[in-house]
Amino acid sequence: MTSIDAPQRPVAKIPLERSLAEQLRPRIAMEEKFARAGGKVKTKSFFRRHEKRFVAPIIKFGLKAIGLYGRGETEALTPVVRDIELTFPQLPRAFDGFRVLHLSDLHIDGCDGLTEAVAEVLEGVEADVCVISGDFRFEDEGPCDELYRRVRKLLPGMEAPYGIYATLGNHDASEIAFALEEMGIRMLINESVELERGRDSIWLAGVDDDFDYKSDDLPQALAGVPRNAFKILLAHTPDLYRQAADAGIHLYLCGHTHGGQVRVPKIGALRSNARCPRTYTYRSWSYNGMQGYTSGGVGCSSLPVRLNCPPEISLFTLRATD
């Protein structure tokens, strides 16, 4: 575990306890299993199995038929910043006003023009720490060169005094973690870091993907974290909400669902792609005293369109109560 002091610049420091390669061992084992099975071991619903050949073309045809496809393409390139203030009785007074910039589901190599649009919006955002909850790339296989090129363009807008931290998603290969750390993004693969302000501190924990890779390990991530410490959990999906609340997490940040990506007025998302109640699949929620937020995500899956669910950049301001 690593202690980061506010005046320091963001660093990618491998903990003395375990190297990044060791942290990624369960994920790499699953990647090898997927490879031996021809990539067919992943959790794939009917939608995901037939997404490219049938589902996406049908959705595209339908949106064009009703004249909404062009609007969806425009919305997919129009990111918004959501300012959210959250209050916690457990938050140390020194962290009152602490700002957390959260991005999720960048899928940044899947939509031309999105990198530039997001970079422009990030220029006007100031935060104390930046966190990214996985799914950096669009496809879940193939080369990552374009992904790395585009992430580098986003880095200046994500810089923060306490650094940039990230977890991997179900679209991400383990090699991405090594490349991101070389760029200065500190990967939290089932581990935690302590963020200090004076004599007070809070803890930021990250777990690996629980959706396809099943390589999450929350107990390992919280090993050594004081039980009464204020804890923020970074996860790819909202599906671990029960375990997180039982472990004493105060703020749970995640994504994966894209908020549905296409939302119908008065109905909402037609598809959540999660194994938890619908309540936890978009924006703010709470469970057993734990506050959570599921981001609508930045990028797209299947098609480069969004409707009534613009690309989201979340900026949290944490407040302490007496």
Span 28-73, pLDDT tens digits: 999 998 888 876 556 555 555 556 666 777 778 888 888 889 999 9
- Position 48 scores a pLDDT of 59
Task: State pLDDT tens for residues 268-293.
Answer: 988 888 999 999 999 999 999 999 99
Task: State pLDDT tens for residues 162-210.
Answer: 999 999 999 999 999 999 999 999 999 999 999 999 999 999 999 999 9
Domains, the chain, ordered by start: 19-320 (3.60.21.10)
Distance CA(302)–CA(122), nearest Å, equals: 25
- Position 4 scores a pLDDT of 53
One-letter-per-residue 3-state SS of the chain: CEEEECCCCCCCCCCCCCCHHHHCHHHHHHHHHHHHCCCCCCCCCHHHHCHHHHHHHHHHHHHHHCCCHHHHHHHHCCCEEEEEEEEECCCCHHHCCEEEEEECCCCCCCCCCHHHHHHHHHCCCCCCEEEEECCCCCCCCCCCHHHHHHHHHHHHHHCCCCCEEEECCCCCCHHHHHHHHHHCCEECCCEEEEEEECCEEEEEEECCCCCCCCCCCHHHHCCCCCCCCCEEEECCCHHHHHHHHHCCCCEEEECCCHHHCEEECCCEECCCCCCCCHHHCCEEEEECCEEEEECCCCCCCCCCCCECCCCEEEEEEEEECC
Q: Which residue from 5, 297, 9, 310 is spatially nearest to 163, judged by alpha carbons?
A: 9
Is the pLDDT reported for residue 160 higher than 90?
yes
Is the pLDDT reported for residue 101 higher than 80?
yes
